[in-house]
Structure 1
């Protein structure tokens, strides 16, 4: 097996979606100064010829469209999600497409991408929608300590791209609650959310002075809020699991919504601890 240590690992399966993921990964690897490591996971010996041809085709396309990119490759055997997650131990980043087709139609289709995002031990990018060449990086802010890791990743991604950052803080559920519960002081909730947003960003703003930050406090559900903010973005960054306005992120409906409906690549960043 080719070593994936300190590389950007990308799962490919012969589909156009995975080819786009490989092109995105090659560009990101160049920004990080590491190789892109292409992995085809083959779970059927009869498909070995197809698997080898699939990875050759993607490498040729990457060299054609990303000239100068450092690329290694591997054809592995096993379950696609399990093998990609295993390789996340030594990777800087793991990249997958949002869906697959053809002989490997299940390899990176929906549930597999989400499974990889849920269990990988490094940041995961699911490449979906149009990977814009310009535009900001968007990050979702919540009240969890682990979210700081995602915010740090978002600042780094914006800095590598020489672009700005949009930080979105969703209001807590109490903002929308009606009925028998006491009516919340909405202005107080808004003020607290804005204060928390400033606190979450202050240290990173000092560390990344070249990244211009726009702050947004949203009073809508996190999924449409983030997707709307990311409409012209290069990348949308979310934490592996959040609280508050982004409750259940990744493992619940909010994560599924973001991963299925975002108009750009989505980075899911987990707390190493």
Structure 2
């Protein structure tokens, strides 16, 4: 069975945006949509809550799921839709179900022109620890026909590039590849700076090598490549203004080992103005 697109839904406006994005993505992929509503475990913490609190929350969750399922089926009648109410820590539950998902989609606040500025701790935890891609939908953007992806050649950005090309091919969009670079400081004789033109040319060669295989696999996808001398996060945030999706690896070459999210992905989640996909190399699955 094809892995489903899983969306976390709590009935809020931001989760509705996530549901719309996830249903469309699942329909494009021809895979199931799986809607998950998580009842936080604190709803069961007696005597801190009155008797019947859990049952009431459970009934409310079932109604929320029923509404979400109806909306997904109405917009995509041929889409296979499933739903389930689970309990526990929302971030832990969503990370757990991500192991059997193509991707997990979450909503983020995007009102007031602030992009995902108010992106919460649950979303950061899921984006940092899920087994596969996590798409965070703050604002639904369409009409740009462009998927932006940042690359630095790290394994995480390689996975991000593959995800970006796959999404662009499904949507009939072009891919804009951004590579930010800065002048290296030689460990020895730091006063002897390398030639900027040579450094940029080497960066461009690395990008072209990375793109060669992707171009063969996705010949229908138009590619734009831009090298920017400077920091990656501001460049990607600016580019998100003119994209329907921005894709980044969960961390790159400069990330500290053991950190779930790098500074670039973290900044893009907070300030990006289109849906953001955070991608990491997927671990090998243990055969059932």
Class of the TM-score when normalised by the shorter of the 2 chains: 0.7 to 0.9
Gaps of 5+ in 1: 101-107
The alignment yields a C-alpha RMSD, in angstroms, of 2.3
In the aligned structure 2, how far is the partner of 1:250 from the partner of 1:211?
31
- Residue 26 of structure 1 deviates from its aligned partner by 0.5
Is 125-134 or 215-224 further displaced after alignment? 125-134
In the aligned structure 1, how far is the partner of 2:6 from the partner of 2:269?
19
Does residue 254 of structure 1 match 2:264? yes
- Residue 99 of structure 1 deviates from its aligned partner by 4.1
Deviations 1:76-135 (A, max 9, x none): 1111010011001111111111149xxxxxxx9511111101111111111122332542
In the aligned structure 2, how far is the partner of 1:173 from the partner of 1:144?
18
SS of corresponding position for 2:216: helix
TM-score, with length taken from structure 2 = 0.82
Mapped contact 2:134–2:277 kept (Cα < 8 A): yes
Match of 2:83 in 1: 73
TM-score, with length taken from structure 1 = 0.86
Does residue 192 of structure 1 match 2:189? no
Match of 1:105 in 2: none
Gaps of 5+ in 2: 44-53, 111-117, 284-288
In the aligned structure 2, how far is the partner of 1:142 from the partner of 1:250?
17
Match of 2:71 in 1: 61
Would you say how many aligned residue pairs link Structure 1 and Structure 2?
Answer: 257
Mapped contact 2:119–2:270 kept (Cα < 8 A): no
Q: How does 1:30-41 map to 2 (within 5 A)?
A: 30-41=27-38
- Picking from 128, 140, 161, the partner of 1:118 is 128
Mapped contact 1:5–1:90 kept (Cα < 8 A): no
Mapped contact 1:227–1:258 kept (Cα < 8 A): yes
In the aligned structure 2, how far is the partner of 1:22 from the partner of 1:240?
23
Q: How does 1:86-101 map to 2 (within 5 A)?
A: 86-99=96-109
In the aligned structure 2, how far is the partner of 1:243 from the partner of 1:14?
38
Match of 2:162 in 1: 152
Is 215-224 or 16-25 further displaced after alignment? 215-224
In the aligned structure 2, how far is the partner of 1:32 from the partner of 1:52?
27
